[in-house]
Structure 1
Amino acid sequence: MLTQADLPDDIDALRALVLEQSRVLAEERAASEVRLAELNVAKGEADAEIERLQSIIKAFMRHRFGSRSEQLDADQLQLGLEDVETALGHARAAREAVAPRSRSDQPRKTNRGSLPAHLERIEQIVDIDDKACPCCRGLLHQIGEDVAERLDVVPTTFRVLVTRRPRYGCRSCEGAIVQAPAPARIVEGGIPTEALIAQVLVSKYADHVPLYRQAQIYARQDIRLDRSTLADWVGRAAWYLRPLRDRTLEELRRSERLFADETTAPVLDPGRGRTKTGQLWAYARDDRPWGGAGPPMVAYVYAADRKAERPDIHLGDFAGILQVDGYGGYTALAKRRGQQLSLAFCWSHVRRKFYDLAASSPVATEILRRIAMLYAIEDEVRGSTAEHRRLERSERSRIIIEDLKLYFDGRLRQISAKSKLAEAIRYATGRWAGLVRFIDDGRIELDTNTVERSIRPLALNRNYAKRRIMRRCQRRGQLLH
């Protein structure tokens, strides 16, 4: 701040000083207005972000405490979690840009992922330029090093595989021409290699990327492929892979125990412009929980309907334990095969019946608590031998099962036979022999989650296919039934 002593006596100098001060004040005012505008923009962005995160939190609350009709499905829940975690990452980056983390700071607890040993390691050395001591200029020697590993990726790179087949002729015999035969191809005369076709299949069926989106991805590198061309590749690959599927199914039929499940699949009904419902059946084996020697595998079979004879045809001469949900077709199958086939049912399906009622029923809550005790024992014995699992179950799980059966019978006499709770109890007691079979056989799991995990990708692809078919029918101006 200027004092009276700082003011010049000369009028011109005084005028120049006033003008300079006015200019400085104007610049400061303009800078303040810019900062205020930036703060307002930042405040608006912050308010929008807060509102977005609050809506996500409300959705989570509905998923946790709302009625079933309002709850999110698993995929929507994962998307919401991704949004929240992305916002947290943005906030952490902003904080670290202002105040970088020091070595003494505790690292945040998070799963950063593991780096498998089989991945190629590309080493880079970040070293000092001058290896002379900054104090005495003597030669420095290495006393250690810090090593950090980061996960890197080489983006998908297309390349052209050029195959040359020289032709040879004989100077003496003009008609003799010798040439190596052309390698076999999935698409004769076509451009894809087997690796490219495998990539298309994995993207479509494992990563749920429709063919038209794959065509768009290829187009970004100026590779023009029609969706119909990709579909032709998929169809040809399916023909070549069918013997492998049949061989897998044949191997599964020789197993001691299998899981089975089925899900719907919308397929076009030619000539009608609408869909019909087909069925995709999954048959899986996973003996790792009890130390079995058979490798895990799964086979999928399409059928036009859900008739009870379908699994009978698919399973062929299978004899052993079939672990399934409550679909009546499996019960009919077991009756037809008699001693050859034993059914084991799924406690996860039983649990779901009571989970829907737990919010309003103390009885359902108590049943869930007892089922949770069974799962706690299973967590302890998973991975041990079948005999050890049998002994532990016989000693610890049997009494829980026997008490639960008494609890079921007692509650059925006290509640209305038409209630949802009675219906859930009858679902369990009507399948009791198959539900308790796991106690005396260490090879049996408590539920069918193994095959449900295997069939989940089919359900995701089904949803994508249904939306695509709906759009196709809408474009034709027809109603999708």
Structure 2
Amino acid sequence: MLMEADLPEDVEALRAFALEQSRKLADVMVAKGESDAEIERLQSIIDAFVRHRFGRKSEQLDPDQLELCLEDIETALGKARAVSEAVVTKAGGERPRKANRGSLPAHLDRIEQVIDVEDKSCTCCGGALHQIGEDVAERLDVVPTTFRVLVTRRPRYGCRSCESAIVQAPAPARIVEGGIPTEALIAQVLVAKYADHLPLYRQAQIYAREGIQLDRSTLADWVGRAAWYLRPLRDHILERLRRSERLFADETTAPVLDPGRGRTKTGQLWAYARDDRPWGSEDPPMVAYVYAADRKGERAEAHLGDFAGILQVDGFGGYAALARRRQQVSLAFCWSHVRRKFYELADNSPVAAEVLRRIAMLYAIEDEVRGTSAEQRRAVRAERARAIVDDLHVYLEARLRQVSAKSKLADAIRYALTRWAGLSLFLDDGRVELDSNTVERSIRPLALNRKNALFAGSDEGGDNWAVIATLIENCKISGINPHAWLTDTLAKLASGHPANAVGELMPWTAVA
């Protein structure tokens, strides 16, 4: 900050000083203008990506790739803002301050530091200063992964009168008997692998930086033991899903190493989900994953057991075969998959664009009724959506007669018409959704883990993947911390929690 005492007294010197300051100010304004322009440019790129993600072209972009692009652009934006702030500070201005008081969670530890003046006497009269207030700033700090050693001592006691009598408290049960990990450490390994998508070898590298030498095979052994304990919980969730009246189902590939052929084979992870919150049900949402070595239609039949009700799915033929064999199962198909077929053709096909317009009208109605009762949803759909669906059916049949049977447009139309009964089921049942996006959202974490881990080492590894991913995903759906839940649950299982009472351990009971 320039003080009056710093100004030259000579007129010529003062004039020269003013010119110099004017040139510096001009340079600062140019630099700041360039920084602001760069900030505006980067922000416009971010806005464009967001429009791609949430706007009309959302289905052209891979969500994971989008996140990586945004990370890099936002990093560049942070650098540009730092440059702009530095320019202002260099010019004698104050660096912008962002108030974050009260924005950090209350449960975090507060470590206070006081930055005080050294001399508490008045610079004018020398009298003692007294505090009239303070500025408080909170910043988020972190302590890197901290390992500690829990030392358990169990004193032994003997009687001086009967030397043979020795008394000692029993050793606490452990998931890894005789091993070094606590249940909290095992939970950390599980969450890092199946929620944060960190393969075990990378976790071993992270631990090694802290001086903890743990082989990947050791971590794998812990995961396998935990999966054995946790399997009954996954099976309990799957059994509860089988007793539901309506389910979503989907499947995704799970590459598995096939040592006999020296390459991978394609296994499948099947997902079964329930979420009745859109029509006001208080039943907890849940999802279960099951691994299978192939995609045969009978896999879903085996997984679902005696399920009777509405199964909302994509166009996979295995589900249709299931419904033909099991009369108690009705299929509701997915309008999102129908829309996707026409979306790929919309740029060059007025017919496809018109179909998309009509489907958008159905989704607009759904946005209005989401959260209302099943009966209210059915009534609104009957009044407003049925006419749209019926007219679209007539439109598609007419256009199918006019286009080449071998064209992609004909394929898209046939895809919709051959599933029309299942696509129309939502009109007569307010519990049915317009699409199967609920289960597709549950599939995405599996796909991300697949990208990071590349493939499972065996069919057993794929099965363990399904078990642990089931429980972590249910924690996320229930809005609870998977690490805290797994730590507590593993400790209870190691201590002999009754097998017929695993329902008490479910993630959604933690928030009930």
Per mean C-alpha deviation after superposition, the further-off stretch among 163-172 and 382-391 is: 382-391
On the 8 A contact 2:85/2:95 being kept in 1, the answer is no
- Aligned ranges 1:58-73 → 2 under 5 Å: 73=62
Q: Deviations over 1:200-223 (max 9, x none)?
A: 111111111011100000001000
Using the size of structure 1 for normalisation, the TM-score is 0.76
On the 8 A contact 1:263/1:459 being kept in 2, the answer is yes
Mapped partners of 2:379, 2:128: distance in 1: 71
After superposition, the Cα gap between the structure-2 partners of 1:262 and 1:95, relative to the gap in structure 1 and judged at 3 Å, is: same
Counterpart in 2 of 1:387? 375
SS in 2 for 1:264: strand
After superposition, the Cα gap between the structure-2 partners of 1:117 and 1:221, relative to the gap in structure 1 and judged at 3 Å, is: closer
Matched, 1:440 2:436: no
Counterpart in 1 of 2:285? 296
Counterpart in 2 of 1:353? 341
After superposition, the Cα gap between the structure-2 partners of 1:132 and 1:382, relative to the gap in structure 1 and judged at 3 Å, is: farther
Counterpart in 2 of 1:454? 442
Mapped partners of 1:135, 1:359: distance in 2: 80
Question: Which of 400, 403, 426 in structure 1 is aligned with 2:414?
Answer: 426
Structure 1 portions without partners, runs of 5+ = 1-41, 470-481
After superposition, the Cα gap between the structure-2 partners of 1:106 and 1:119, relative to the gap in structure 1 and judged at 3 Å, is: closer
After superposition, the Cα gap between the structure-2 partners of 1:386 and 1:192, relative to the gap in structure 1 and judged at 3 Å, is: same
Question: Which of 221, 224, 228 in structure 1 is aligned with 2:217?
Answer: 228
Counterpart in 2 of 1:465? 453
SS in 2 for 1:165: coil
Counterpart in 2 of 1:84? 73
Q: For residue 397 of structure 1, what is the amino acid of its counterpart?
A: A
Mapped partners of 1:132, 1:251: distance in 2: 74
SS in 2 for 1:283: strand
Larger RCO (alpha carbons 8 Å, 6+ apart):
2
- Which has the larger Rg? 1
Tell me how far 1:131 sits from its aligned partner: 10
Tell me how far 1:365 sits from its aligned partner: 1.1
Mapped partners of 1:106, 1:379: distance in 2: 40
Tell me how far 1:464 sits from its aligned partner: 2.9
Aligned residues: 406
Counterpart in 1 of 2:506? none
Counterpart in 2 of 1:15? none
Mapped partners of 1:231, 1:306: distance in 2: 27
RMSD: 3.5
After superposition, the Cα gap between the structure-2 partners of 1:99 and 1:184, relative to the gap in structure 1 and judged at 3 Å, is: same
Tell me how far 1:376 sits from its aligned partner: 1.7
Q: For residue 371 of structure 1, what is the amino acid of its counterpart?
A: I
Counterpart in 2 of 1:164? 153
Q: Deviations over 1:280-315 (max 9, x none)?
A: 111111111111121111111111111111111111
After superposition, the Cα gap between the structure-2 partners of 1:155 and 1:131, relative to the gap in structure 1 and judged at 3 Å, is: farther
Matched, 1:313 2:302: yes
On the 8 A contact 1:133/1:140 being kept in 2, the answer is no
Counterpart in 2 of 1:270? 259
Q: Deviations over 1:21-73 (max 9, x none)?
A: xxxxxxxxxxxxxxxxxxxxx9xxx9xx99xx8xx99x97xx99xxx9xx763
Mapped partners of 2:345, 2:387: distance in 1: 25
Structure 2 portions without partners, runs of 5+ = 1-30, 458-512
Q: Deviations over 1:132-162 (max 9, x none)?
A: 89899899786x8876654443432111111
Counterpart in 2 of 1:475? none
After superposition, the Cα gap between the structure-2 partners of 1:150 and 1:365, relative to the gap in structure 1 and judged at 3 Å, is: farther
Counterpart in 2 of 1:344? 332
Question: Which of 83, 99, 117 in structure 2 is aligned with 1:94?
Answer: 83
On the 8 A contact 1:364/1:421 being kept in 2, the answer is yes
After superposition, the Cα gap between the structure-2 partners of 1:169 and 1:104, relative to the gap in structure 1 and judged at 3 Å, is: closer
On the 8 A contact 1:131/1:140 being kept in 2, the answer is no
Mapped partners of 1:319, 1:173: distance in 2: 67
Mapped partners of 1:292, 1:135: distance in 2: 73
SS in 2 for 1:299: strand
Mapped partners of 1:160, 1:127: distance in 2: 35
After superposition, the Cα gap between the structure-2 partners of 1:208 and 1:173, relative to the gap in structure 1 and judged at 3 Å, is: same
Q: Deviations over 1:253-282 (max 9, x none)?
A: 111211111111111223332211111111
